[in-house]
Amino acid sequence: MLKRTEELYRGIDKIDAHIHQNSRRTTLLQEAEQEGFRLVTINTEVPDFPTTDEQREIALDIEKLKPGLLSFMATFSANGWGEPDWQIKSLAQIETGIKKGAVSVKIWKNFGMELRDSDGNFVMADHPSLNPIYETLEKNGITLIAHIGEPKNCWLPIEEMTVNGDRDYFSRNPRYHMYLHKEYPSYEEHLQARDRVLKKFNNLRFVGAHLASHEWSVDKVAEWLDTFPEAGVDLAERVCHLQYQAVENQPKIKAFVEKYQDRIIYGTDQIDDGSLPDDELRTAIRKKWHEEFQFFAEDSLQISKQVDKPFQGLGLQKSVLNKIFSQNALRYYPGIVK
């Protein structure tokens, strides 16, 4: 990091608005405290994560050990979907989350990619069974964060994927590698289902996680943001896709970020499931924060293990960095601990 970047980094009160705190240790919080970050852990029904209720309780317990550093987003379980009391249970789970301080509610890609009805049809994001959830969130002004669909790479063979993280993730998770599952809904079908929800519930506060799954093209992200002028996007695990596009056309990526500077929210998607030793986890998250901040703050030539060629950083001014690394998260998720 250049001296200017270092000063900017130290001078901004930063938020990583997309992590997964699944272990009962404060390692990530300790590192956050040292690096000037606050964290938001997102309860998500990933099969090998603790149950969604457990994830919420972990967040609440860990927060008490280091107050002021960790907020959480609630979710609802798809378990028992299709049973008569599923809606009541899912709404109750959301209500519990909100009462305990959740700053947002998440819907995950198991809607669209996993759950099926009794006829074998996939339950997409716009399935009517979800309407009471959307209505409740809309009525109460609670932000919905959605990870619906996947990066476009997910529908490509491994060797055609653009970034190394996707190659790695989909090699390790073939069940989510849609190139292998032609009978599953297409990339476009997921996004269309999500967009129908946004059209129907047009006052729903909304954040599209992972650049709203349009990560492969800033033109597509821009088009989506123009279609839904109140919605935001988060950057979790997708900064590399901006870097990949910056290899060819850095000015275009810079112009995109500057134009949508009020609607882009920083996050890493760092998971702590207890598997890494403390020092390795601290090194990993610090490295990610430094390198990604450097990409936005500094216009030097940079490299990333995600992207095969060097790219030029964006060299954004402090006011823009401040929005992406802090202010936008506070606006979209107003309950974040201060």
Residue numbers of the site for Zn ion (CB under 5 A)? 269
User: Which is nearer to Zn ion, 210 or 263 (by Cβ)?
Assistant: 210
Cα separation, 238 vs 289, in Å, equals 13
Query: At which residue do the structure tokens 């107050």 appear?
Result: 67
Of 19 and 314, nearer to Zn ion (C-beta) is 19
Neighbours of 173 (CB within 10 A): 12
Nearer to Zn ion, 40 or 242 (CB): 40
Contact, 117 vs 109, CB < 8 A?
no
Tell me how far apart the alpha carbons of residues 208 and 227 are, in angstroms, rounded to a whole number: 13
41 or 261, CB closer to Zn ion? Answer: 41
**Nearest residue relative to Zn ion (C-beta):** 269
| CB of residue 199 to Zn ion, shortest distance in Å | 25
Minimum CB distance to Zn ion, residue 290 (Å): 20
Q: 231-246 b/e with 16+ CB inside 10 Å = b?
A: bbbbbbbbbbbbbbbb
Q: Please give the backbone phi and psi of residue 172, each rounded to the nearest 5 degrees, phi first.
A: -80, -20
State the minimum distance, in angstroms, from the CB of residue 106 to Zn ion.
Answer: 8
**Distance in angstroms (rounded) separating the CA atoms of residues 260 and 240:** 18
Q: How far is the CB of 11 from Zn ion (least distance, A)?
A: 28
Structure tokens at 318: 């402090």
Minimum distance from residue 18 beta carbon to Zn ion (Å): 6
- Nearer CB in complex with Zn ion: 69/236: 236
Query: Which residues are within 8 A (CB) of 183 and not within 5 positions of it... i.e. 6 or more apart?
Result: none
Residue closer to Zn ion (CB basis): 73 or 142: 73
Give min distance, CB of 211 to Zn ion, in A. Answer: 13
